[in-house]
Amino acid sequence: MGRENSKNVWVFIEVYDNKIRNVSLELLGQGRVIADQLGEKLVGVVIGDNIAGLANEVIAYGAETAIVVSGNEYKDYSTDGFANALTALVKKYAPSVLLIGATRNGKDLAPRVAGRLETGLIADCTDIEVNSEDRLVEWTKPAGNMMSTSICPDSSPQMGTVRSNVFKKPAPDYNRAGEIVAEDIGTKADDIRTKIVEIIKTVQGETVNLEEAEIIVSGGRGMKGPENFAILKELADILGGSVGASRAAVDADWMPYAHQVGQTGKTVKPKIYLACGISGAIQHLAGMSSSDLIIAINKDPEAPIFNVADFGIVGDLFEVVPLLTKEFRRIKNG
């Protein structure tokens, strides 16, 4: 699609358990910034079942318009159903920019839509801004030990998937007025080639939702082995948090990839991030340095993690962590 007649910034609104995912709300905030810079409107696209009530939330978080595609065929995410719907909407309305969260579903959906539209896609971005000279969106993403910035000058929409927690979620204004547009794509159940038979939630694995955790207790190479992550889990459970891991710990098969924090893992922004036995390689810092409060425990006083930590404890984590767990349990039990 050409850029000549394209207009408005779109955000695909991902819904899970009938709630809007945080990354979509974050993108509404940044989408608002981009739309204002381009002098265009911000539009949120919601696809799902029984989701009409979410349209007002989309407007409250900054959109002028919420486009709603609702039906039982969209009850669960499917590649066919969602790609068909989003592609049809883009062809009808011709937005200039389309932002999608870099979630599992977003990473599945975005390339298929981009392929059908014959436009470019910049994946896994950590920043987006408008170039004032040519009014193109610049997409920044990790590239090994460097950061790369890309543009898509010749086709439309300019598309990108964006990581969670790289933009601040805006404060909602439920007094904002906006337009709600209901669209019927005409997708039938037979058009969807896959069917979800059963959803099984596991304790450890891909269902770990570190991106939305408020407290994360992470371990690195200093944990010395997979069995020692039990002390981190015990502390995390007391605090009501989740367990994370550095790439070194994941590469050593001490923890599943779903727990990996960093440039090649998940970008997190909890209220408290407790780094245990993590040296602080730049790739790890890229995924957690925006945390509200960072506490580091490491035997090496020169470890780079202390450069970003709000509080640091130079000591043996195998002594410090059990003491923290004991004290927090005492406080919790009154």
Residue 158 marked as a ligand binder: no
Domain segments of the chain: what residues? 9-191, 210-332
Residue 264 marked as a ligand binder: yes
Residue 8 marked as a ligand binder: no
pLDDT tens profile 197-242: 887 765 544 456 888 899 999 999 999 999 999 999 999 999 999 9
Residue 205 marked as a ligand binder: no
Phi, then psi, of 322 in degrees rounded to 5: -60, -35
Q: Which fold has domain 9-191?
A: Rossmann fold (3.40.50)
Q: Do domains 9-191 and 210-332 have the same CATH topology?
A: yes
The secondary structure element, H or E, covering residue 106 is: helix 104-117
- The whole-number pLDDT of residue 21 equals 94
Residue 260 marked as a ligand binder: yes
Judge contact between 233 and 291, C-beta under 8 A.
no
Residue 112 marked as a ligand binder: no
Residue 37 marked as a ligand binder: no
Domain 210-332 in CATH 3.40.50.720? The answer is no
3-state secondary structure of 202: coil
Residue 115 marked as a ligand binder: no
Residue 56 marked as a ligand binder: no
- The whole-number pLDDT of residue 202 equals 59
Percent of the chain's residues with pLDDT above 90? 72
Residue 298 marked as a ligand binder: yes
3-state secondary structure of 26: helix
The secondary structure element, H or E, covering residue 68 is: strand 65-70
- The whole-number pLDDT of residue 206 equals 44
Residue 315 marked as a ligand binder: no
pLDDT tens profile 67-109: 999 998 999 999 999 999 999 999 999 999 999 999 999 999 9
Residue 247 marked as a ligand binder: yes
Residue 287 marked as a ligand binder: no
Q: Pairing mode, if any, of strands 137-143 and 127-130?
A: antiparallel
Residue 32 marked as a ligand binder: no
- The whole-number pLDDT of residue 2 equals 55
Assessment of whether the complete model's pTM goes beyond 0.85: no
User: For the residues 182-189, what does the mean pLDDT come to?
Assistant: 87
Residue 225 marked as a ligand binder: no
